[in-house]
Every structure is written in structure tokens, then in C-alpha cells.
Amino acid sequence: MVATFLHEQATKDSAKNNGIKNEIVSKSYIRTYPNSTEGVLHVVCEEKQTIQKVTVTDSVGRIVISQNASCNSADLDMSHLQKGIYFVDIKTNERRRTERVVLR
């Protein structure tokens, strides 16, 4: 299962029609897969983003993996961790995004 996360880099109010209508100025995509995983989690940035750092924390906030990078993809080996829910913080040259990942 591939999860694609659409992020709005910038939005502006363009009109009101039963609420606020936003116009997407530009988009960027960050994919994390597979979720759930048995070990290796792939993180991929498309277009002109570069991953700078990926940090994995457990459910109580302890950092269990911290990996610096300077490319548009990273592979995280989580196989040594206990099964459970983790939070993957992805910092790119343009933004920061946190995703919930299940390790089974």
C-alpha cells in the first residue's frame, strides 16, 4: 500500500462559496510505504524536494532512529524495533511532515 501525502506549499483565498475556497498555488508529494511495515520503510520525495533528516519516535516520544540525508529518498530499517506505532518526522528543504507508521 502506497500512501501519497499531498501538501499545500502555499494557498490563497480565491473566492467564497459556502465557506472558504482555496486555490492551490503549488504542490509537493511525500510518499511513505509500506504502511504497515515488517521492517523497512521507504520515504520518497518527488519534484524538487530533498530529504534532510528523518527521525522516528516511539509512542512515548523517545527517538529510536535518526538519519541525516541529502537526497530525495531514504530507507529506514525498523526491523530491530518492537512492534507498535511509531511517528516518522520527515524534514525536507521545503517543509516538515510527521506520519504515523505501524510496525508489525
Domain of 87, CATH number, reads 2.60.40.3080
Residue 88: band (very low, low, confident or very high) from pLDDT cuts 50, 70, 90: very high
The per-residue pLDDT for 48 is: 80
- The predicted pLDDT at position 11 comes to 34
Structural domain containing residue 37? 3-103
pLDDT at 5 over 80: no
Percentage of the chain modeled with pLDDT above 70 = 73
CB count, 10 Å around CB of 91?
17
Q: What is the pLDDT of residue 28?
A: 53
* CA-to-CA separations, 88 to 13, 15, 19, in angstroms, rounded: 31, 35, 33
In sequence order, the 6+-apart residues with CB closer than 8 A to the CB of 46 are: 28, 29, 30, 31, 72
Tally the C-alpha atoms within 13 A of residue 17's C-alpha that lie toward its C-beta: 5
Distinct helix (H) and strand (E) counts, the chain: 0, 8
Tell me the C-alpha distance between 9 and 24, whole Å: 8
Domain tally for the chain?
Answer: 1
Q: Has residue 6 got a pLDDT over 80?
A: no
Looking at residue 46, its pLDDT comes to 77
- Whether the Cβ atoms of residue 3 and residue 35 lie closer than 8 Å to each other: yes
pTM attached to this predicted model:
0.71
94 within 8 A of 28, measured Cβ to Cβ: yes
